[in-house]
């Protein structure tokens, strides 16, 4: 605290945070340089680290890749918005289902990758389904599902760097349009820095650098989550006091349902707030909305504020259950497939399968608690979050930032920024690498060179494509920065989940046919597009309303339709050849 006080007094606002971010990015570049010293100069080393990653590095890198900024920033915001149910809906489901996907899908795909030399998912599907064209169908789908995911990450990095560094360079970056970002590193520069650093270490060390960087990033955001939790709990008078305030003001945030008692407490607190508002701001209308939520700056309002309660909202049991379909998406993430292939042995997966659920808990639980506390947090007589879930334009994603800001500690603020950046960049590097790999192997080598490129050509092409992917993603982000594509990214998870029946059947069902696979893709992705259009017309394509079809998350019917189509059409069409079935299902000699 002493160091932070000294730093805060010596440096302009935002400068401490900037230096922490710079130190973090420099550490990533150093990791890239270090990984380059052991780089073997081959395509296999560049794309899959010569299949030499051990268990500890694998668990950290896989976890870092599956956790996005949502795990830190979004989880707090969602808990603030809808309560503790978000943990069961997303985190504990992820713990169970991700581990299942690693165990049932990842290990098998790794084995086929090592046995037959696959470096992309499409290479596996082409062989397994005896279909060259399955690649032409899957490639655009995988890239289109992945791009919004990448762009959301770049958007997040630019915004986080901007918010964290506000005040650092008021002369260079005056930001006349947005007073909150005066002196902040501008969006174009922040995103260029973040993507540039990721490109550099991916260029230098490929998959090995990605694994090392993800391990570092995992450690950073796990530490940041816990540190932030402890500081905030202390500031609010301890964890017990913080939770008791939520019990008194917004008890529905501690449950998934809304009881008559919750409704009664809401009405009572609302009446108290209205009376307080009327007594402190006689000139303002009691019916005012967003502005009325904000703490008054008038002298009359200097007395401790009465907080406005959140309107209780329930989470249905069916919706809660259906969220178990979303984490199935990890089975078809191209960037996760890429990381799976880096494993030294099948046994290296055991630690990943085992520890993943508890690692998810370690990052989500503190962030969920912070989000729930934020609904009733008061410091210095003022609400920490000056709006509620009913306020127009309320942005849950800034709740964690506001909670950290109340600490008034630039070091914790800088650490949080680095933690969120770590979560964002941890997925982005593997995404760049996997798309570069798919372009190289599945398009250029397969269609143009008929799978006859030399190793050196594949390495060169891969690196060039990674540059193109990074550049295209950055430019697209600059163009789309005002377009709300956050919801679109959520739909992409559903799209990947809809491909789960395909990969599961390819690994475990001898009778799957290429026609069954096409039908499954058509039913799963096609129904998803239909749901997206329907939902967009109902709520608006830019809406942040959680997508819902028949009371469940869209991934649920998409997965079910895809599975039914796969089974029915496979049974109606000719079975695969004996040679293919033997190749993938006949017993093999065991390793010593």
Partner 1 sequence: MRQLVFFLIILLTVLHQDFWWRDDHRTLVLGFLPVSLAYHIGVSVAATVLWGMACKYCWPRDVDVPDSDAWTPPTSGRGGH
Cα 145 from chain centroid (whole Å): 14
Q: Which stretch binds partner 1 (CB under 8 A): 110-118, 159-167, 220-228, 519-527?
A: 110-118
Sites for partner 1 among residues 423-462 (CB under 8 A): 441, 451-456
* Residue 354 binds partner 1, judged by CB under 8 A: yes
Cα 134 from chain centroid (whole Å): 28
Q: Which stretch binds partner 1 (CB under 8 A): 191-199, 358-366, 378-386, 524-532?
A: 358-366
* Residue 365 binds partner 1, judged by CB under 8 A: yes
Q: Which stretch binds partner 1 (CB under 8 A): 21-29, 167-175, 203-211, 364-372?
A: 364-372
Strand pairing partners for 549?
Answer: 552
Q: 157 vs 228, which CB is nearer to partner 1? A: 228
Report the run of H or E that residue 200 belongs to, with start and end.
Answer: helix 187-235
Binding mask 27-66 for partner 1 (x = CB under 8 A): -----------------x----------------------
Binding-site member from 54, 186, 357, 526 for partner 1 (CB under 8 A): 357
Distance in Å, CB of 44 to partner 1, minimum? 7
Sites for partner 1 among residues 229-288 (CB under 8 A): 238-240, 242-243, 247, 251-252, 254-257, 259, 262
Question: Count of residues binding partner 1 (CB under 8 A)?
Answer: 72
Query: Are the C-beta atoms of residues 213 and 425 closer than 8 Å to each other?
Result: yes
Sites for partner 1 among residues 367-426 (CB under 8 A): 368-369, 372
* Residue 463 binds partner 1, judged by CB under 8 A: no
* Residue 544 binds partner 1, judged by CB under 8 A: no
Q: 372 vs 416, which CB is nearer to partner 1? A: 372
* Residue 139 binds partner 1, judged by CB under 8 A: no
Distance in Å, CB of 234 to partner 1, minimum? 13
Q: 242 vs 330, which CB is nearer to partner 1? A: 242
Widest pairwise Cα distance in the chain: 84
Report CA dihedral (225, 230, 234, 239) to the nearest 10 degrees.
Answer: 90
Calpha distance 429→65 (Å, rounded): 9
Query: How big is the chain, counted in residues?
Result: 592
The helix/strand/coil state of 590 is: coil
Query: Are the C-beta atoms of residues 424 and 326 closer than 8 Å to each other?
Result: no
Mapped to the 3 state alphabet, what secondary structure does 132-175 carry?
CHHHHHHHHHHHHHHHHHHHHHHHHHHHHHHHHCCCCCCCCCCC
CB contact burial 460-471 (16+ within 10 A = b; e otherwise) = ebbbebbeebbe
Binding-site member from 63, 70, 80, 110 for partner 1 (CB under 8 A): 110
Q: 203 vs 584, which CB is nearer to partner 1? A: 584
Q: 267 vs 298, which CB is nearer to partner 1? A: 267
Distance in Å, CB of 592 to partner 1, minimum? 7
* Residue 321 binds partner 1, judged by CB under 8 A: yes
Calpha distance 395→475 (Å, rounded): 25
Calpha distance 570→517 (Å, rounded): 8
């Amino acid at each position: 605290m002493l160091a932070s006080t000294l730093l805060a007094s010596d440096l302009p606002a935002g400068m401490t945070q900037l230096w922490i971010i710079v130190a973090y990015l420099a550490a990533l570049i150093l990791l890239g340089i270090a990984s380059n010293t052991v780089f073997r100069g081959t395509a296999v080393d560049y794309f899959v680290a010569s299949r030499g990653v051990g268990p500890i590095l694998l668990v950290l890198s896989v976890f870092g890749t599956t956790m996005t900024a949502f795990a830190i920033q979004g989880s707090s915001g969602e808990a603030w918005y809808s309560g503790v149910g978000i943990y069961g809906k997303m985190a504990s489901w992820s713990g169970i289902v991700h581990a299942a996907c690693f165990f049932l899908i990842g290990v098998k795909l790794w084995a086929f990758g090592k046995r037959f030399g696959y470096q992309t998912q499409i290479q596996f599907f082409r062989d397994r389904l005896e279909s060259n064209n399955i690649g032409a169908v899957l490639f655009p789908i995988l890239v289109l599902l992945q791009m919004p995911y990448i762009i959301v990450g770049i958007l997040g990095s630019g915004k986080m760097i901007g918010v964290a560094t506000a005040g650092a360079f008021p002369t260079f970056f005056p930001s006349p349009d947005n007073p909150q970002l005066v002196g902040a590193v501008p969006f174009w520069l922040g995103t260029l820095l973040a993507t540039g650093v990721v490109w550099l270490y991916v260029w230098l060390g490929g998959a090995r650098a990605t694994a090392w960087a993800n391990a570092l990033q995992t450690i950073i955001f796990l530490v940041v989550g816990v540190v932030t939790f402890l500081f905030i709990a202390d500031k609010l008078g301890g964890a017990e006091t913080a939770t008791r305030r939520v019990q008194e003001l917004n008890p529905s945030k501690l449950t998934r349902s809304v009881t008559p008692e919750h409704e009664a407490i809401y009405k009572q607190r609302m009446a108290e707030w209205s009376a307080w508002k009327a007594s402190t701001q006689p000139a303002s209308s009691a019916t005012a909305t967003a502005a009325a939520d904000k703490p008054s700056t008038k002298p009359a309002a200097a007395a401790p504020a009465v907080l406005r309660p959140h309107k209780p909202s329930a989470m249905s049991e069916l919706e809660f259950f259906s969220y178990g379909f979303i984490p199935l998406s990890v089975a078809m993430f191209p960037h996760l497939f890429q990381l799976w292939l880096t494993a030294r042995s099948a046994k290296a997966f055991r630690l990943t399968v085992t520890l993943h659920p508890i690692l998810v808990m370690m990052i989500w639980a503190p962030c969920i608690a912070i989000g729930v506390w934020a609904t009733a947090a008061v410091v210095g007589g003022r609400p920490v979050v000056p709006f509620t879930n009913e306020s127009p334009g309320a942005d849950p994603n800034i709740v964690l930032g506001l909670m950290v800001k109340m600490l008034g500690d630039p070091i914790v603020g800088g650490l949080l920024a680095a933690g969120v950046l770590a979560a964002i960049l941890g997925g982005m590097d593997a995404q760049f690498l996997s798309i570069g790999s798919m372009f190289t192997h599945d398009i250029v080598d397969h269609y143009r060179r008929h799978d006859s490129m030399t190793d050196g050509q594949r390495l060169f092409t891969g690196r060039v494509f990674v540059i193109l992917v990074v550049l295209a993603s950055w430019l697209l982000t600059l163009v789309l920065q005002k377009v709300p594509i956050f919801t679109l990214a959520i739909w992409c998870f559903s799209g990947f989940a809809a491909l789960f029946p395909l990969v599961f059947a390819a690994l475990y069902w001898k009778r799957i046919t290429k026609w069954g696979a096409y039908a499954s893709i058509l039913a799963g992705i096609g129904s998803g597009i239909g749901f997206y259009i329907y939902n967009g017309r109902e709520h608006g394509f830019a809406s942040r309303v959680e997508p819902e079809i028949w009371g469940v998350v869209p991934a649920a019917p998409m997965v079910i339709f895809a599975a039914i189509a796969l089974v029915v059409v496979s049974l109606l069409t000719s079975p695969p050849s004996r040679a293919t079935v033997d190749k993938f299902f006949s017993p093999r000699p065991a390793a010593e």
